[in-house]
Amino acid sequence: MDLQNILDELFAMTFHAGIKPGLERITTLCESIDDPHLRLPVIHVAGTNGKGSTCSMLASILTHAGYRTGLYTSPHVRHFRERIRIDGVPISDEEIARYAVPLMATARDIGGTFFEVTTAMALQYFADRRVDIVVLETGLGGRLDATNVVQPLLSIITQIDMDHMEYLGTTLPAIAGEKAGIIKPETPVVVGHHGDDVRSVFVRKAERERAPIVFAEDVIDVRCDRILPDLHMSVAVTSDDELRYMMTDLAGVHQTRNIATVLTSLPALRSTYHIEEHHIDQGLRRVRATTGLAARCELIQSDPVIVHDVSHNPGGLRALVETLRAADHPERSFQVVFGAMSDKDVDGMLHALLPIAHTLHCCSPHIPRSMPVDELVTRAHAIGFSTVTSSSSIAEAYAQAITKEAPTVACGSFHIIDEVRALSEQ
């Protein structure tokens, strides 16, 4: 069976098995491959927004410190192999085939899902390659997420927002409770969420597990100093009454929270790993180049500006807009290529984009969950967009936007960015 057939069958599990929270099937899959998760030192990261960036920052720092670092994130932007990387190098097509086929056979017998097979693949691959540490991102939630089979050396919870409410609950405390499920007995946990709205949820869970807990906002302050036209950012970091400046290639005021979370995590890691200040500086400065992180407020072209961003909920898009405005782009100046899934808070996403949009180019990925273009257009007009176009394809919407010779941003879904980036490969 060739790789494409294997991937087609693997992706089909999403539709056949669906999303089925629970640890029984992933436990069975791991048992079938000699429990690789029990042989791996893991940093386990959950959250609604920022977990992908946080994972990549940590992986970059650890790689610059000389450690062989496995990184597992989801979803991918263009290619499945992006999900499983060691020191920024994706798993090869041959290794995907070798690991996937036996696990898929087991999964078929127990009703396993796409994400469960992929998670087991990553754990087995990292164990076989004898990595020094794994940075593992949850898929959905935390408590019943397939990644929660691990016994981590550190748990991290990033920003919490309203997302996947059909699975995680309809209030922030309910969602936080699901994310808090990654807190393990006597295992340090760092929380990057700001504010008191869900703090008690994490404190109670940590107390029950006797897990040392630290809130990043209590120990460190990271402020945006300036955002450069190339979307690099200078930040001012204050801790223990000491001020220092750092650079990162991940721009955005929202990234200051992720940086604070990462820096707060380092004392727990330094009990096992040797991490010096210059490893941190280089790791933060070169996150994209080191790990392959893509499409997080990523500058694709500078004249005129083209930005790709995979944000797919209101909080993520508010952060994108805040970043673009901080980079001195005026209000209502962008051609916005936008599409979204019907199960998302689309009205909230549109409200977030309104301040920067000159023209909203509505489009729809060719998958069943996509919101139809006509409905997007109707909602956009109701929210207050003055100029809205309707396109039959993402390619058409993107072409219309970039021919305006004005700043362009494509956003709203991983599927939007996937199709946009595919255009450059044709």
pLDDT tens readout for residues 33-91:
999 999 999 999 999 888 999 999 999 999 999 999 999 999 899 999 999 999 999 99
Share of residues in the chain with pLDDT > 70 (%): 96
Beta-carbon neighbour count of residue 272 at 10 Å?
12
Question: CATH code for 3-291?
Answer: 3.40.1190.10
Bridge pairing between strands 357-362 and 213-215: unpaired
Which residues in the chain are classed under CATH 3.40.1190.10?
3-291
Which residues in the chain are classed under CATH 3.90.190.20?
298-423
pTM for this predicted structure: 0.92
Among the listed residues 139, 134, 228, the one whose alpha carbon sits nearest the alpha carbon of residue 179: 139
- Mean pLDDT, residues 87-98 taken together: 97
pLDDT in tens, 203-227: 999 999 999 999 999 999 999 999 9
Answer whether 148's CB lies under 8 Å from 23's CB: yes
Residue 15 has pLDDT above 80, yes or no: no
Instruction: Write the single-letter amino acid at 84.
Output: I
Question: CATH code for 298-423?
Answer: 3.90.190.20
The contacts of residue 215 (CB under 8 Å, 6+ apart) are 190, 191, 193, 199, 202
